[in-house]
Structure 1
Amino acid sequence: MTLLRTRLDAATKHLDPPVAVVDLAAFDHNAADLVRRAAGRPIRVASKSVRCRYLLERALRTPGFTGVLSYALPEALWLTRAWADTDLADTDILVAYPTVDHAALRELAADEHARRTVSIVIDSGAHLDLVDAALGADHPPIRVCLELDVSWRPLFGDRKVHVGTHRSPVFTSEQARELAKAVLVRPGFDLVGVMGYEGQIAGLGDDPVGYPLLGLLRRWMQRRSARELVRRRGEVVRAVTAVRQLEFVNGGGTGSIEVTRADPSVTEIAAGSGLIGPTLFDNYRSFTPQPAVLYAVPVVRRPGPGVATLLGGGYLASGPANGARLPRPYLPEGLKLLATEGAGEVQTPVSGAAADTLRVGDRVWLRHAKAGELAERFAEYHVIEGDRVARAVPTYRGEGHSFG
């Protein structure tokens, strides 16, 4: 770790912090590890967890990665335009969250190439109605993907006990079949896929640091949820394919690759956070991504023994408001946030034995809790190869875009 800090400091010494970097060796290692874990299943890159075209493109050009799981239709259209004259021109892009953006839908309908490569997710007839309202009658075919609720309802499907994310209302094979039929009888729509994000498995670490009993409980839940899901998702896919042959069935996330690849109904796996290695992925037993994206902020005060104060750096992650969403001091080792202040917009005090080794002007390297949200804070990432900055690449923000 001391060598890593020395390398990062030396590579970025000409840059004033705050500065964000990509350790390219770590990124490539993580990409290879995702492919290994997927064991032959194609990986669709979750762009929400990357938000940097250079890194998306690097992943897509890695054998084993195919397609993008986008998080907004304007983003998908932008990527389609950006890649129009490249080897990525025919990249398949699935917009994983329903869109109500009328202007983007009109742009999609007007672009023949985008209509061939971009699919939008639906989970009810209301989404079809909205597309019709935006585009009018007789609009050209729009590719749609049916989203399945893959949460766990242990009490015989009773939605009063719901373990997982609250997304689609489509839970059963009967509901999926009826929606598929509704799509088929509506002119202007082409049903091409089924997707489902098992957040209760992919998004919950099964070995939370410092909470062994919670880990046992989560592993118990995840085993049972996975068994139920393999059965139910298989029933859904059979029901839908009886109505319409599908191009893909998408499932999973970085945290559930081993579980998802065991489901014979799934044809591809979504993953993105595993490329970056944020702190939330320190809590899994089956894999350990390397921290590939880090940021440094400077020491600006030494208020007393054992404490150093950093300028800003309080980049909090979305989700439940708890300590797991705070950034974590990474280098030098032996630093922690103060419980009384946490990570702040203007200052972030850190304590620990390493604090007394820091001087005003030194930098502390931190890791974000989530993978893609750091890109909203920086206009560019500095790509480190070996002991030097090889190039600076823009994030989405640096290219003038924020699709959240």
Structure 2
Amino acid sequence: MTLTIQNIKRVGSDTTESVTIENGKIKGWNIEPEGETIDGKGGTLAPALIELHAHLREPGQTEKEDLHSGLAAAAAGGYGTVVCMPNTSPVIDDPALVRSLIEKAGALGLARLKPAAALTKGQKGEALAELSYLKGAGAAMFTDDGRTNENARVLRLGLEYAGSLGMVISVHAEDATLRADGVMNEGPVSEALGLPGNPAAAEAARVARDMELVAQTGARLHVQHLSTARALDIVREAKKRGLPVTCEVCPHHLDLTDEALRGFDAIYKVAPPLRTQADADYLLEGLLDGSVDCIATDHAPHTKAEKERDLLEAPSGIAYIEIAFPVMWTKFGDKLGLEKLLDLMTAAPARVMGWPEPSLEAGAPADLVVLDLYTEREVNPAEFKSKAKFTPWQGQTLRGWPLLTVVDGKVAYRRE
């Protein structure tokens, strides 16, 4: 299959060009058009985004999301590759299930799926899953995300085993005993609302413990969705020690704070919780100075009925993978700049995983996105591909909308 995208500007360039794709790879730039031709409408061409942390809810929770809706939402958001979390029903701890998900996703022609597998059987934190077989089946990483790893000895063994396999373990770093029944950040806002708080120390204490396990094992560890300044300082210190540690932050922890909970709306309930403006500002500085390695969304869809429960009962999670880039570009593009932001959402996740960095050169895999960096559009959740058709950014005007997403040389999404 041959495809030519015309009337585009390569990221970092003001020159209008065309790119030709053949057999899943970039054939060349500004050559005689071949095959199907698509007008890029003057948009900016970049490598497709890479998501290391999304909940697609399949198997067993498909009333919230499924592979088709989740990967369609990802493609609409400009993502070419998605790592899905294993806290499904049943848990993704079986090599046959990993293979089945990859096969099913591959037939959809949407974003590419790379399943994460559970670190422990049933994500119970007691006994390691069959990590070698899971890797052989195609698992991208190991994680008990959705649950914290309370047993330090089990995590140590997991790090040693995963390290021998050349695999990354990612962790949801919260001390469950400190978090307790907290539903939002512990501080003046939680006290004013009379709601149980989740202290910053819950994250910092667990990150500190995990850094010592990395020091002991020498294995790679990726810390998910950092939310506090103190935890980032601990990661910084670990990196200065030369430890093989990486971390991610999510757009909602940069753009939203615990002040949003004053209306008691569970749409803002996430884990870890929205923190203070000072934490958000500090995390942004971490992106700027390289202390934070990449951006992930923690796309976590639930049904509207679940999120309409009160804050004590509603599940945690925000689903917004299809507007993640517009949120980041509109809110923080002036500080980060386009090339830095794109790096944080493309090449940086690849570096975390040890994958080849995406490229726009001839011969590179044709995972591409065309972005409209200037046209403003209002966020309308009714248009979402995701089953979770609600968002904290509803009604806001954003820029940076994907116009076209190409995965493996084929069109996975095209804005009408």
TM-score normalised per structure 1: 0.38
TM-score normalised per structure 2: 0.37
